[in-house]
Structure 1
Amino acid sequence: MKKPYEVTVVLRIENNEDVQKANLEQVKNWIEADGQGVINKLDANHWGRRRLAYEIDGQREGLYVLFYADIEPDAVEELDRNLRLATGVLRYLIVRPD
Structure 2
Amino acid sequence: MNKAAQKSLEELLESLDTYDMDDYIFKSREGNNRPITRQQALNVIKDAAEAIRVKENVGTHTLRKTWGCHAWKSGYSPALIMETLNHSNLVAIIKGL
Q: Normalized per residue, which structure has more strand?
A: 1
TM exceeding 0.5: no
- Provide the TM-score with structure 2 as the length reference: 0.29
More relative contact order, 1 or 2 (CA 8 Å, 6+ apart): 1
Higher helix residue share: 2
TM-score by length of 1: 0.28
